[in-house]
Structure 1
């Protein structure tokens, strides 16, 4: 694959988590989270993006979100569970995405706020239609996702190089 071909990044925040007496990393999804994760999976499948890889935080709520969402996909992408996604800043997430092999065209990152929302804002140098306005209005609630694209090597991913193509969040 040429590094000049367009690449897609989907930033997907985990669904609504419960607050039982466990560590933050071990928090499971709430009932609403399970419903929203499946709906987000349907919406992600509707994008028609053929994901090459999913990069998922090791936290229980992100793993559960991914397990429910991916059931809606026509084809399951390779999944990498990466502990560095948990509590990562936008800069740390960019550094992680910079490690992506250039033969991969599209990556779905399942992570946490504030890193995921911050990364969407930082990467989006431009936006299509009302995607940026919708994201600005809604913020980045649980189970929301942003679709961004850029051209170039993954090593060249940096602030402002991407276009925000789409944004979706569940309704309350």
Structure 2
């Protein structure tokens, strides 16, 4: 694949988690989270973007979100469970994306806030007006996702390099 071909980064926040007496890393999804994760999976599948690889935080709620979402995909992409996504800063997430092999075109990251929202804002040097308005109104609630488009090598992912082309969040 040529580095001049367009690439996509999909940033997907885990669905609504429950608050049982367990460590934060081991929090499971709430019932609403399970429904929203499946709906987000359907919406992601509806984009028609063929995801080449998913990078998923090792936290239980992200793993459960991804399992329910990917069940809605026509084809399951390769999934890498990555400890570094949990509690990662936007800079750490960019460094992780910079490690992506250039033969991959579309990468989905299942992670947490504030990282997913901040990374979307940092990477999006431009945005379709309607998409930016929707995201500004909704923020980045649980089970939301943003689709960013850029051209170049994964090593060139840096602030402002991408365009925000799609955004979805479940209704409350």
Measured against the shorter chain, the TM-score band is over 0.9
Unaligned runs of 5+ in 2: none
**Distance apart, 1:72 and its partner CA:** 0.2
Aligned to 2:54: 54
CA distance in 1: counterparts of 2:79 and 2:51, whole angstroms = 10
Alignment partner, residue 74 of structure 2? 74
1:129 Cα offset (Å):
3.8
Q: 1:57 and 1:22 mapped to 2: Cα distance?
A: 17
Q: How does 1:1-172 map to 2 (within 5 A)?
A: 1-172=1-172
SS in 1 for 2:3: coil
Q: Secondary structure at the match of 1:130?
A: helix
Instruction: Report the Cα distance in structure 1 between the residues aligned to 2:106 and 2:48, rounded to whole angstroms.
Output: 11
Q: Secondary structure at the match of 2:41?
A: helix
Question: 1:128 Cα shift?
Answer: 1.6
Q: Alignment partner of 1:163: what SS? A: strand
Per-residue CA deviations over 1:97-146 (Å, capped at 9, x if unaligned) read 00000000000000000000000000000012411111111100000000
- Unaligned 5+ segments in structure 1 are none
Count residues in correspondence: 172
* CA displacement, residues 40-87 of structure 1 (integer Å, 9 cap, x when unaligned): 000000000000000000000000000000000000000000000000
Query: The residue matched to 1:38 in structure 2 has which SS?
Result: helix
